[in-house]
Chain A
Amino acid sequence: ILNVEQSPQSLHVQEGDSTNFTCSFPSSNFYALHWYRWETAKSPEALFVMTLNGDEKKKGRISATLNTKEGYSYLYIKGSQPEDSATYLCASPNAGGTSYGKLTFGQGTILTVHP
Chain B
Amino acid sequence: DGGITQSPKYLFRKEGQNVTLSCEQNLNHDAMYWYRQDPGQGLRLIYYSQIVNDFQKGDIAEGYSVSREKKESFPLTVTSAQKNPTAFYLCASSIDEAYEQYFGPGTRLTVT
Partner-B contacts on A (CB < 8 A): 1, 4, 32, 34, 36, 42-46, 48-49, 89, 91, 93, 99-108
CA distance A99 to B45 in the complex (A): 13
Tell me if A105 and B43 are in contact (CB < 8 A). yes
Determine the distance from Cα of A65 to Cα of B81 in the docked complex, in whole angstroms: 42
* Closest A residue to B32 using CB positions: A101
Question: Do B33 and A101 touch (CB < 8 A)?
Answer: yes
Residue of A nearest to B94 (CB): A101
Give the docked Cα–Cα distance between A34 and B101 (Å): 9
A32 to B100, alpha carbons, bound, how many Å?
10
For the complex, what is the distance from the CA of A100 to the CA of B94, rounded to whole Å? 12
In this complex, how many residues of chain B approach chain A with their Cβ under 8 Å: the count is 29
Nearest A residue (CB) for B102: A46
Decide: A101 and B97 in contact? CB cutoff 8 A.
yes
Please, which residues of chain A bring their CB within 8 A of the CB of B101?
A: 34, 36, 44, 46, 101, 103
Q: Quick check: B100 and A46 within 8 Å, CB to CB?
A: yes
CA distance A69 to B27 in the complex (A): 35
Q: Which chain B residue has the least Cβ–Cβ distance from A51?
A: B98
B window 47-82: CB within 8 A of A: 48, 50, 56, 58-59
Q: Does B41 touch A at the CB level, under 8 Å?
A: yes
Cβ contact within 8 Å between B100 and A49: yes
CA distance A8 to B97 in the complex (A): 28
A43 & B50 in contact (Cβ 8 Å cutoff): no
Q: Is B21 an interface residue (CB 8 A)?
A: no
Distance, CA A105 to CA B101, complexed state (A) = 12
Given contact pairs A91-B43, A103-B43, A104-B42, enumerate 18 new A-B contacts (beta carbons under 8 Å).
A32-B98, A34-B100, A34-B101, A43-B4, A43-B102, A43-B106, A44-B101, A44-B103, A46-B100, A46-B101, A48-B100, A49-B98, A49-B100, A99-B56, A99-B97, A101-B96, A103-B101, A105-B35
